[in-house]
């Protein structure tokens, strides 16, 4: 926006990309090197009458002038021709040619504060092009950081904010008297323009440094049309910015000159998450704009009505009672217990019902499916909404944990009532081992479910958070890879924000619906013990079951040669179980079905631990090899410092991935880990046997891989490698790394001795 000046000088260098906000915002205002920039003239009043927005730059009725770097207006050409040294100076400021700038200034050919008639300084051009060293030099030479230039009478800070350039903004606010409250010709201050940029890291920085008690900016400061930053973020469909602004106290009930709430503007993009967030923030769904339209009418105009109704229903609003909040007839804690224990009742009924050898096989199967589906819908639409309001709530409810624990309960019941009474010396040891395994996986299951998986402590003081941000800026690491914009805390290595617990989890592995919790630094050992014990428990339960039926088959009075005791597809012992112990048989087959994904999950976890990886890191590794990693909102200047990588020129692309039901099922049972493991193994084999010069695996850094032996010692032992430390669990974020105890709550750098390549 600030680049739209009277000077008509086209940018010679790429301006830093304004960032996309997460998965739901489009990339804006990207200018390619060497292209000519269109300059807009603006009239705010015209667009207010129309009550529409065509760009995030302003609510404007724009007139577009064709610009040309050389063949512009006669005045511009003549001015540049009359002052070729100044034109060279401006071009050097754009491209960051500091040596050329210094030569022009020290020779006296150009004054650092000199401008063309438009008033745009070299500092403006250096700021908008992310040339931090040029910015520093010009500031040291006395260039005014509050100089207003261009048609919009904007300052260098405005230009940098409009393009989301955090490092330039930080320098101007920290080392100069740049005023963030200063407004341009469109009545935008620095916070408005930071919101327009959709760079969440810049907005977070501005909120922390300039907003709050005793600071220079008010989070709900209106522009000339009475639109606040929340109005703009909602219009842009920028969920990250919306959340950040609401965190700092932005008011969702503010109206602009057209009586539009932020909620009304959110329908322009129609993103569900933004609508849901603004609704939860207290937006009035019946508030009317200056045309007498409420949220429902605006939603119809923007073809979002069905989506809006869906959002309201998921928010527990009742369409039969004027969308009032429904009464929750069941306490959330009790509803969770009902969800968890329902499979305990339904599973045995289904297993008992499927006595297929007694006739009516198809009706029995049909009734069993109907019962299971009825249970699913009963929980999804009657019980779960009492504590969870989401589109697909079952994976984030205790239902799957209930499926597992219910299955385990009835297996233990059958083992005690059917298998133990028939114990013999031959299978005494197997039963003893099974008892130990049952005790192990039951304890680990409930412990892993209820334990804190490793929540990273979140500062409550904004000054402390700002210090963390400043540290990241000094390191050139202030981006969404190193700072959590959901919890406003610096990310330790290997951590990830959990959408389930809504906390940052240290050494995050994955969310497991089967234990109804995240797997992190404090319960990963418990989870691994749980699945390994469960794996072998299923094997022994199956072995003892078949051994029992084999014994009964050989018992006097049972004739396996009798046609009534034979099955076409099953062995004699399995046939005996199928025809005479259908509950036990169905339970065993159900366990074997579960065994498929449990075995694949065990293999995936074993491979990942052997390579010093978590499941989350393994997925990132897969993305790196496919070169599909996400945009991290970094705006590190190309000349920021030695050893600091500049921001990627890749722009944020709003790719919306819709998971198919098959993909969801694969992820729920953990088969995705197995498939990724198989894929990596195949790629490794292909690359070892091929003659290709490029090997993607050789370019991937795995800094936590210390060899298979050390990786497993680090995983199982806490502190010294002694038998008793095998049973220790982290009190906070402590765990072993290459034989040394580290705190994963505060691990921001990889120890130098830890770096290895795959």
pLDDT of residue 496: 96
Residue 258's φ and ψ, nearest 5 degrees, are -95, 10
- Please check whether residues 386 and 246 belong to one and the same domain: no
Per the structure block, which two tokens stand in for 416?
Answer: 């005690």
Residue 367 in domain? yes
pLDDT of residue 328: 83
- What would the pLDDT profile of 372-389 be if each residue is shown by its tens digit? 999 999 999 899 999 998
- For residue 167, the tally of other CB atoms under 10 A from its CB is 24
- Please check whether residues 208 and 173 belong to one and the same domain: yes
Residue 501's φ and ψ, nearest 5 degrees, are -90, -10
Q: Rg for the chain (alpha carbons), in Å? A: 32
Provide mean pLDDT across the span 111-132: 95
- Please check whether residues 285 and 360 belong to one and the same domain: no
Residue 338 in domain? yes
Residue 457 in domain? no
Q: Evaluate if residue 162 carries a pLDDT over 50.
A: yes
Residue 320 in domain? yes
CB 279 within 8 A of CB 285: yes
pLDDT of residue 553: 77
* DSSP β-ladder status, 317-318 and 324-325: antiparallel
Q: Evaluate if residue 104 carries a pLDDT over 80.
A: yes
Q: Evaluate if residue 426 carries a pLDDT over 80.
A: no
Q: Evaluate if residue 37 carries a pLDDT over 50.
A: no
Q: Domain of 376?
A: 328-397
Q: Give the DSSP H/E element, type plus range, for residue 735.
A: strand 734-737
Q: Which DSSP letter does residue 487 get?
A: T
Task: Tell me the CA end-to-end span of the chain in Å, nearest whole number.
Answer: 45
- Please check whether residues 164 and 24 belong to one and the same domain: yes
Q: How sure is the predictor about 64, in pLDDT bands with cuts at 50, 70 and 90? A: very low
Q: Which residue has the higher pLDDT, 332 or 688?
A: 332
Residue 751 in domain? no
Q: Evaluate if residue 749 carries a pLDDT over 70.
A: yes
Lowest mean pLDDT among 31-45, 80-94, 265-279, 696-710: 31-45
CB 237 within 8 A of CB 271: yes
Per the structure block, which two tokens stand in for 527?
Answer: 């989870």
Residues 6 or more apart whose CB falls under 8 angstroms from that of 370 comprise none
Residue 193 in domain? yes
The mean pLDDT value of the chain amounts to: 83
**Pick from 325, 341, 356: which residue ends a domain?**
325
Provide mean pLDDT across the span 492-499: 96
- Please check whether residues 178 and 312 belong to one and the same domain: no
Q: Evaluate if residue 68 carries a pLDDT over 50.
A: no
CB 100 within 8 A of CB 92: yes
- Please check whether residues 127 and 63 belong to one and the same domain: yes
- What would the pLDDT profile of 620-656 be if each residue is shown by its tens digit? 887 766 655 678 899 999 988 755 656 554 444 333 4
Q: Is 648 left (phi over 0), alpha (psi -120 to 50) or beta?
A: beta
What residues are paired with 490 via a beta bridge?
A: 483
For residues 475-509, b (16+ Cβ closer than 10 Å) or e, as one string? ebbbbbebbbbbbbbbbbbbbbbbeeeebbbbbbb
Q: Which DSSP letter does residue 211 get?
A: B
Residue 27 in domain? yes
Distance (Å, whole) CA 743 – CA 375? 44
- Please check whether residues 284 and 166 belong to one and the same domain: no
Structural domain total, the chain: 4
**Residue percentage of the chain with pLDDT more than 70:** 78
Q: Which residue has the higher pLDDT, 568 or 335?
A: 335
- Please check whether residues 257 and 391 belong to one and the same domain: no
User: SS3 for 39?
Assistant: strand
- Please check whether residues 182 and 82 belong to one and the same domain: yes
Q: How sure is the predictor about 540, in pLDDT bands with cuts at 50, 70 and 90? A: very high
512, 575, 591, 602: which is the annotated catalytic residue? Answer: 512
- What would the pLDDT profile of 512-535 be if each residue is shown by its tens digit? 999 999 999 999 999 999 999 999
Residue 24 in domain? yes
**Pick from 325, 360, 385: which residue ends a domain?**
325
pLDDT of residue 688: 52
pLDDT of residue 561: 60
- Please check whether residues 55 and 107 belong to one and the same domain: yes
- Please check whether residues 588 and 649 belong to one and the same domain: no
- Please check whether residues 70 and 121 belong to one and the same domain: yes
Domain CATH code at residue 288? 1.25.40.20
Burial class of residue 703, CB neighbours in 10 A (0-12, 13-18, 19+): middle
211 catalytic per annotation: no
pLDDT of residue 664: 57
């Amino acid at each position: 926006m600030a680049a739209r000046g009277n000077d008509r000088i086209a940018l010679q260098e790429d301006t830093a990309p304004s960032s996309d906000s997460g998965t739901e915002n489009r990339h804006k205002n990207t200018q390619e090197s060497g292209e000519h920039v269109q300059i807009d003239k603006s009239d705010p009043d015209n667009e207010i009458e129309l009550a529409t927005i065509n760009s995030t730059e302003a609510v404007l009725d724009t007139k577009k002038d064709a610009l040309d770097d050389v063949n512009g207006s006669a005045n511009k050409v003549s001015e540049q021709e009359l002052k070729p040294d100044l034109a060279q100076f401006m071009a050097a400021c754009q491209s960051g040619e500091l040596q050329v700038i210094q030569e022009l200034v020290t020779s006296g050919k150009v004054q650092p504060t000199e401008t063309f008639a438009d008033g745009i300084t070299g500092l403006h051009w250096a700021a908008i092009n992310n040339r931090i060293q040029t910015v520093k030099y010009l500031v040291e030479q006395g260039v005014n950081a509050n100089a207003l230039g261009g048609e919009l009478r904007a300052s260098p800070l405005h230009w940098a904010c409009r393009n989301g350039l955090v490092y330039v903004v930080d320098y101007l606010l920290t080392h100069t008297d740049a005023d963030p409250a200063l407004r341009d010709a469109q009545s935008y201050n620095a916070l408005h323009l930071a919101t327009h940029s959709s760079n969440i890291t810049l907005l977070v920085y501005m909120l922390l440094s300039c907003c709050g008690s005793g600071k220079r900016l008010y989070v709900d400061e209106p522009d000339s049309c009475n639109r606040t930053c929340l109005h703009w973020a909602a219009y842009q469909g920028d969920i990250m910015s919306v959340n950040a602004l609401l965190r700092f106290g932005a008011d969702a009930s503010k109206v602009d000159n057209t009586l539009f709430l932020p909620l009304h503007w959110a329908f322009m993009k129609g993103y569900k998450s933004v609508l849901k967030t603004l609704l939860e923030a207290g937006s009035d769904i019946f508030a009317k704009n200056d045309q007498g339209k409420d949220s429902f009418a605006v939603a119809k105009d923007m073809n979002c009505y069905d989506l809006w109704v869906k959002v309201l229903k998921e928010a527990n609003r009742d369409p039969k009672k004027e969308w009032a909040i429904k009464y929750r007839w069941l306490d959330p804690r009790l509803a969770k217990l009902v969800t968890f224990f329902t499979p305990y009742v339904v599973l045995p009924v289904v297993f008992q019902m499927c006595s297929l050898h007694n006739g009516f096989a198809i009706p029995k199967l049909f009734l069993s499916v109907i019962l299971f589906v009825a249970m699913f819908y009963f929980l999804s639409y009657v019980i779960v909404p009492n504590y969870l309001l989401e589109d697909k709530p079952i994976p984030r409810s205790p239902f799957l944990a209930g499926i597992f624990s219910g299955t385990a309960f009835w297996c233990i019941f059958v083992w005690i009532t059917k298998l133990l009474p028939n114990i013999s010396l031959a299978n005494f040891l197997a039963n003893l081992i099974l008892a130990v395994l049952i005790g192990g996986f039951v304890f680990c299951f409930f412990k892993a479910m209820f334990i804190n998986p490793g929540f990273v402590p979140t500062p409550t003081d904004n000054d402390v958070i700002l210090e963390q941000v400043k540290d990241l800026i000094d390191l050139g690491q202030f981006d969404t890879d190193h700072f959590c914009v959901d919890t406003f805390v610096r990310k330790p290595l290997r951590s990830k924000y959990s959408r389930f617990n809504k906390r940052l989890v240290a050494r995050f592995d994955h969310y497991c619906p089967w234990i109804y919790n995240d797997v992190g630094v404090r319960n990963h050992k418990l989870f691994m013990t749980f699945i390994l014990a469960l794996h072998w428990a299923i094997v022994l339960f199956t072995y003892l079951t078949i051994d029992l039926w084999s014994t009964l088959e050989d018992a006097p009075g049972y004739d396996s040669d009798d046609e009534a005791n034979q099955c076409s597809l099953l062995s004699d012992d399995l046939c005996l179980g199928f025809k005479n112990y259908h509950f036990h048989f169905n339970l065993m087959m159900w366990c074997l079905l579960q065994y498929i994904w449990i075995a694949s999950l065990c293999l995936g976890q074993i491979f990942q631990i052997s390579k010093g990886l978590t499941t989350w890191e393994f997925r990132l590794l897969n993305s790196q090899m496919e070169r599909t990693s996400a945009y991290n909102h970094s705006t590190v200047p190309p000349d920021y410092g030695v050893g600091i990588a500049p921001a990627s020129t890749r722009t944020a692309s709003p790719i919306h991935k819709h998971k198919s039901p098959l993909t969801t099922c694969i992820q729920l049972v953990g088969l995705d880990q197995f498939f990724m493991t198989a894929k990596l193994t195949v790629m490794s084999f292909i690359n070892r046997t091929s003659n290709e010069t490029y090997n993607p695996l050789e370019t991937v850094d795995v800094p936590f891989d210390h060899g298979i032996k050390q990786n497993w010692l680090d995983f199982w032992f806490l502190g010294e490698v002694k038998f008793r430390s095998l049973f220790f669990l982290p009190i906070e974020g402590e765990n072993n790394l290459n034989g040394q105890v580290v705190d994963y709550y505060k691990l921001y750098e990889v120890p130098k001795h830890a770096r290895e390549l795959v």
